């Protein structure tokens, strides 16, 4: 905010000149009398003129001083008004800064980020995406392929899809903004169960966003020394340096439950770039599956409002190819790990599974046979079944 200040500099220069004329003549009395009378008359005239001139100058000075005083008062008033306007403007700027809409942070800063809440151990994770208006969408998933029973021979899956909206950011300090959760809802009630494709699906709470009405967002550059141990225990695995002194990414912090979310840049990435995740290097199988799940979610959410049926078909094909390639990657590593007897047994099981998968895909698309939607239905089914099998095979690499 720039302030304008008006300085009024006034200088009044007055010069007055007074002259009286008198001249001495000869020394005779008559001449002296005449000269004296003349001088007297001259003095009277001079005094009268001087008085008249003084009054005129005085009046002029008075008028000029009055005008200058009036200008000065006017300028002073203008200066006061400008100062008041400036103060009001500064006050307005301070309020806006406090809300985080023009200084330090805004939702636009994180619209290209994927926030992830995960322990790095186990198959569970929560992913959250924030829009420029403060609305957000999240996905939580977990699985236990060993939890099987009648009708759900492929195990148990835990899931939650949730949406909501943050209030305007409020500045806490130079590196922290508070985000109040104005609203949050989930597609299915927590605790509800159903069996889908031989997997028991248990709908859960929005893990990571549960138990609180406020999240903190920490900006990149936040000093690590000022962050709580609870928060660091969740996010330090994503640090890029061994002795990290400042936070290298945007992060979310569940104030009540003390959960921490890391973030990753999703801008300018190709959602169908499967090769960037399948076959990449990971610390363990859990981290690998979390990355595949993140790509799966990215592919599913990449379609725009003006997408055609062809776009939907290609999207479904990408979903299937992602899990199919991951399954093949897992298989090659399992083959190198198991002995011949164990591998022979697993191969027989895999052949049965392939037969069952092809049957399930065929049945899913039969209802739409010949229609433009049939490829999408079949590939979505193939993706879901292959995803389940990938988690089963991943157990051999733990």
- Tell me: pLDDT of 339 over 60: yes
On whether both 153 and 294 belong to a single domain, the answer is: no
On whether both 33 and 65 belong to a single domain, the answer is: yes
Tell me what the mean pLDDT of segment 146-158 comes to.
84
On whether both 176 and 237 belong to a single domain, the answer is: yes
**299 falls in which pLDDT band (50, 70, 90)?**
very high
> What percent of the chain lies above the pLDDT cut of 90?
51
From 122, 118, 120, select the one nearest 146 (Cα to Cα). 122
Kindly report the average pLDDT of the chain as a whole number: 77
Give the pTM.
0.49
- Tell me: pLDDT of 63 over 70: no
**267 falls in which pLDDT band (50, 70, 90)?**
low
Per-residue pLDDT reduced to its tens digit, 238-253: 887 778 899 999 999 9
Tell me what the mean pLDDT of segment 269-279 comes to.
77
**264 falls in which pLDDT band (50, 70, 90)?**
confident
Tell me what the mean pLDDT of segment 88-110 comes to.
55
On whether both 241 and 115 belong to a single domain, the answer is: yes
Q: Look at residue 47 in the predicted model and tell me its pLDDT.
A: 43
On whether both 345 and 299 belong to a single domain, the answer is: yes
Q: Look at residue 120 in the predicted model and tell me its pLDDT.
A: 56
Per-residue pLDDT reduced to its tens digit, 156-205: 889 999 999 999 999 999 999 999 999 999 999 999 999 987 789 999 99
Domain boundary among 99, 126, 156: 99
On whether both 388 and 338 belong to a single domain, the answer is: yes
> What percent of the chain lies above the pLDDT cut of 70?
71
Q: Look at residue 31 in the predicted model and tell me its pLDDT.
A: 38
**Higher confidence at residue 66 or residue 148?**
148
Instruction: Tell me how many domains the chain contains.
Output: 3
- Quote the distance between the C-alpha of residue 104 and its chain's center: 10
Domain boundary among 56, 76, 99: 99
Q: Look at residue 279 in the predicted model and tell me its pLDDT.
A: 81
- Domain span at 53: 1-99
**141 falls in which pLDDT band (50, 70, 90)?**
confident
Asked which of 14-28, 130-144, 289-303 is least confident by mean pLDDT, the reply is 14-28
Domain boundary among 212, 245, 268: 268
Tell me what the mean pLDDT of segment 291-307 comes to.
89
Q: Give how far Cα 278 sits from Cα of 86, 123, 139, 281, Å.
A: 58, 16, 21, 9
On whether both 115 and 246 belong to a single domain, the answer is: yes
Distance CA 320, CA 329 (A): 14
On whether both 258 and 338 belong to a single domain, the answer is: no
Interhelix angle 374-394/309-337, nearest 10 degrees: 20
On whether both 169 and 211 belong to a single domain, the answer is: yes
On whether both 94 and 120 belong to a single domain, the answer is: no
Q: Which helix (H) or strand (E) holds 77?
A: helix 29-99
What would the DSSP string read from start to end of 215-270? Answer: EEEEPTT-BGGGS-HHHHHHHGGG-SSTT--B--S-EEEETTTTEEEEEEE-TT--
* Cα dihedral 244→246→252→254 (10° resolution): 80
On whether both 73 and 17 belong to a single domain, the answer is: yes
**66 falls in which pLDDT band (50, 70, 90)?**
very low
Asked which of 159-168, 312-321, 378-387 is least confident by mean pLDDT, the reply is 312-321
* Phi, psi (deg, nearest 5) at residue 325: -70, -40
Q: Look at residue 270 in the predicted model and tell me its pLDDT.
A: 67
On whether both 26 and 40 belong to a single domain, the answer is: yes
- Tell me: pLDDT of 48 over 90: no
- Tell me: pLDDT of 90 over 80: no
- Tell me: pLDDT of 269 over 70: no
Per DSSP bridges, beta strands 199-203 and 156-166 are: parallel
């Amino acid at each position: 905010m720039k302030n304008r200040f008006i300085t009024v500099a006034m200088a009044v220069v007055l010069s007055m000149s007074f002259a009286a004329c008198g001249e001495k003549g000869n020394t005779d009395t008559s001449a002296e009398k005449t000269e004296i009378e003349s001088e007297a008359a001259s003095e009277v005239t001079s005094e009268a003129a001087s008085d008249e001139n003084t009054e005129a100058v005085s009046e002029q000075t008075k008028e000029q001083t009055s005008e200058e005083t009036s200008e000065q008062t006017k300028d002073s008033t203008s200066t006061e008004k400008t100062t008041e306007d400036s103060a009001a403007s500064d006050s307005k700027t301070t309020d806006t800064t406090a809300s985080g809409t023009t200084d330090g942070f805004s939702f636009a800063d994180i619209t290209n980020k994927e926030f992830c809440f995960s322990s790095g151990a186990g198959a569970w994770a929560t992913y959250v995406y924030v829009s420029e208006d403060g609305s957000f969408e999240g996905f939580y998933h977990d699985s236990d392929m060993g939890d099987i029973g009648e009708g759900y021979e492929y195990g148990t899956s835990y899931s939650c899809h949730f949406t909501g909206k943050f209030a305007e950011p409020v500045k806490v300090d130079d590196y922290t903004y508070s985000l109040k959760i104005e609203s949050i809802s989930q597609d299915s009630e927590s605790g509800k169960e159903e069996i889908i494709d031989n997997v028991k699906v248990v709908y859960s709470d929005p893990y990571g966003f549960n138990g609180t009405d406020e999240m903190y967002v920490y900006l990149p550059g936040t000093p690590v020394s000022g962050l709580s141990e609870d928060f660091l225990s969740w996010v330090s695995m994503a640090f890029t340096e061994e002795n990290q002194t400042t936070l290298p990414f945007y992060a979310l912090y569940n104030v009540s439950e003390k959960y921490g979310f890391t973030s990753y840049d999703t801008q300018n990435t190709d959602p169908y770039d499967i090769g960037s995740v399948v076959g990449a290097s990971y610390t363990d199988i859990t981290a690998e599956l979390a990355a595949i799940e993140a790509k799966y979610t990215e592919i599913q959410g990449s379609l725009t409002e003006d997408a055609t049926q062809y776009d939907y078909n290609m999207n479904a094909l990408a979903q299937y190819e992602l899990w199919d390639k991951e399954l093949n990657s897992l298989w090659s590593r399992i083959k190198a790990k198991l002995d011949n007897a164990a591998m022979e047994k697993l191969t027989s099981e895999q052949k049965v599974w392939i037969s069952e998968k092809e049957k399930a895909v065929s049945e899913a698309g039969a209802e739409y046979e010949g229609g433009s939607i049939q490829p999408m239905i079949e590939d979505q089914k193939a993706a879901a079944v292959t995803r389940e099998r990938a988690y089963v095979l991943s157990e051999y690499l733990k």
